[in-house]
Amino acid sequence: MTPYPPLAGRTAVVTGAASGMGAATARLLAAQGASVALLARREDRLKELADEIAAAGGHALPVAADVTDQASVDAAAALVGARLGRVDLVVAAAGVMLPNPLDDGRVDEWTRMIDTNVTGVLRTVRAFTGDLVAAAAEGAAADLVTVSSIGAHVVFPNYAVYGATKAALTHLAASLRSELGPRDVRVTNIEPGLTDTELGTHVDNAQLGPDGQLGAMFEAIGPLAAEDVADLVGYVASRPRRVNLRQIVVLPTRQA
C-alpha cells in the first residue's frame, strides 16, 4: 500500500460503510488515525466494524442511516456532530446497482438507484458541506470524495439507469468542485471498474447476476479489491491542502 502521512486529527464520515469499498475505506482511515462515522442501513454490520476498528486501536461510531431518507441523514449528521464534532472528510460510497433491460420497465429499481446514487449523495452533501467549508476556512484540509463508476463513461447493455446515475454523479462532483474549490474544499470523484464487493448480490436477474454475466466478467477480468479503492481515498485525503486530485479512474489491469 502507498505510504502516506497519517490522518490523525481528521474526522470522517463514510456512507456505505456496511460492506465493500465503504467498509474498507473506514478501516483504512481509522488505521491512519482518523475518527470515523460509519453510515449505512445495516446497524449490526456497522457495530461489528466499529468493534473491529476499536480492537485495532482506532475510533469509529456506528450510525444507522438511510441516504434515501432526508430525516435519517439529518439525524445521522446531528449524532455525528454531537459525538465526533466537526467533520472534515466525507466519503459518499453508498450505492446500488440494479441492471435489467430498459423495456422491463422496472420503475422500482430505477427509483431506488436514482434516490440512492444521486439524491442520496446530494442529501449527504447537504448534511455535511457546512462542516467541510468551516474546516477549510480555519485552514484545515477538507475533502469530499464521491464514488462514481467507469459506468459513467462506458455503455453496458442493461445497465442504462445505473450508468445514468453514475454519469449524473460524475457531473455533479465536477459542479460541486466549482462551488467548493474556491472555498478550499477539495472534491475528488473516484470511478472504479469491476471491484469485488457485495454490489452484484442485489441483481434481480439470474442471467445478469453473479451466477451469470457478472460472474463471467469477474472470471475473465479479475476484479479490484475494495481495499484498492480505500487506498486511493487515503492517498487523496493526505495530500497537501493545495493538491486536489479531481478525478480518478481506477480499473483492473485487464478491464478495457
The catalytic residue positions are 162
149 touches ligand NAP by CB under 6 A = yes
Instruction: Show the CA angle centred on residue 109, arms to residues 105 and 114, nearest 5°.
Output: 110
- Smallest gap from residue 65 Cβ to ligand NAP (A): 6
Which residue, 140 or 249, is less far from ligand NAP as judged by CB? 249
Q: Is residue 163 a contact residue for ligand NAP (CB under 6 A)?
A: no
The owner of cell 488515525 is: 33
Rounded CA separation 155/151 (Å): 7
Give CA separation, 1 vs 20, 35, 134, 197, 208, in Å: 18, 21, 31, 19, 33
x-or-dash string of contact with ligand NAP, 28-67, rule CB under 6 A: ------------xxx--x-------------------xxx
12 binds ligand NAP (CB under 6 A): no
CA distance to 99, 108, 156, 185, per residue, from 104 (Å): 10, 11, 16, 42
DSSP string, 23-34: HHHHHHHHHTT-
252 binds ligand NAP (CB under 6 A): no
Candidates 11, 35, 124, 197; binder of ligand NAP (CB under 6 A) is 197
Kindly state whether residue 217 participates in binding ligand NAP, applying the rule CB under 6 A. Answer: no
In the complex with ligand NAP, the residue whose CB is nearer, 70 or 140, is: 70
Instruction: Pick one of 124, 189, 195, 213: the residue that binds ligand NAP (CB under 6 A).
Output: 195
CB 10 within 8 A of CB 33: yes
96 binds ligand NAP (CB under 6 A): yes
